[in-house]
Structure 1
Amino acid sequence: MIATGLSILIVTDNAGDDVGTCLSLVTESRIGRGCEVIVIDNASIDGTPELIAARFPEVRLIVQSENHGVSGAHAIGFAASRGAYLLLLSPDVLLTDPDAVAAMAARLDAHPDLGAIGARPAPSDDSHQAGDAGGWRGVCVVMRREAVFAIGGLDGEGIGWRGRLEDAGWRVGDLPDIAARCLRSGSAGNGDQSVFSTSPSIHSGWVSPTERPTSLSPL
């Protein structure tokens, strides 16, 4: 299989309060290349999977019977994905700029030695200060698929992905001016928050633009 386009991986853990808004903004994004959206749900009990299935049939939903933590769920999503680039996005990070993802992917296009590019989503207000892990606040980062393979995948503990990428010879950058907001310090509901410190057909869920307004094109 030749990887093409972009895979967006979102991990949810009782994230029903946020994920609807997050996914609405994702589907309105002007990405400019083939795209798939994969949500890995970590055994939510607040109705998150049902909300996603009802409102976003174009999203590939992988529901887990137990909580694998953020890193473990990202590993599951990575194994199911086929994009050349991977956007790891927290359900509480809102892409308020519809061109944000395209800008990050374009930076990887222009710099073949760049393994990952992260945004720094601003906190939505003074009462919800977003955490800053490994230089990336929240989770909004586009990674190159071959760079993920170079560090042995997205699971595992130890040093964060940023350090592992640099140790493997990849450059890592960030775009601090990307317009995005982080609603709170958590990165995927109430589960494991240490992402950076430590099947049916993929197309089966997609609907045509006439059925649901979206700027995304399937892989």
Structure 2
Amino acid sequence: MSFIEWCLKNSDKGYSFEDQAFKQITFRIGYISFKYGYDDLCKCLNRYHQIYHSNDFSNYNYLCVEFDKKCPVVSCGAFAPEYDFLGESLQSITDLNIEEISINIYSLEESSLCIMGYLDGPKKVGKKFTESLLTLPHQRIPDIILQLALSSFENTYFNEDWYNNLDKIEQEKSEIFLDNNAHPDIETHSTYLIDCGWHVFDGKISNIYKNIA
């Protein structure tokens, strides 16, 4: 018997019927959600393994944006975006076959990079997502990249001095982004990546490298 099976059978022993029902429903919903997420992760990982072992990267797509200054935020993760930077629908996380995109934001000695990579499927989620970013005014992209990181990835870190030097309104906006990221029960709205006018990173785009197909 697996640990999960043991929990399903034994975690509610000794409780009232109402508490037992609540525990069983909650546990099974969590188990099913985890299973679907794990299956999606395995599908994605297998696709990357196949490309890596075949040494054929022709189907790997990417967008790399280089900034002329160090970014105050570093982040990495992968997610299945439901909306693009214009608020347009890309997919639903209830779809049986979701399409993911990975994102890394990191600093070099005197500059920083944001790299988005993906293997697109029939819905072309990665292509639409990256292309929507490039339609925005280039002077706004540095701030929107930070908005994306704080709103979407828990593996995100920022410079404490940078945060302390923000004015109160900018700090409050950053906390709204973090709340969206930290609480999975908060519904993702189509507007959460739309430019809100937040200006906290004065870096400029120095180069764009891309293979978007």
TM class by shorter-chain length?
Answer: under 0.3
Which is strand-richer, 1 or 2? 1
- Relative contact order: is structure 1 or structure 2 higher (C-alpha 8 Å, sep ≥ 6)? 1
Normalised by the length of structure 1, the TM-score is: 0.25
Q: Which has the larger radius of gyration?
A: 2
Normalised by the length of structure 2, the TM-score is: 0.26
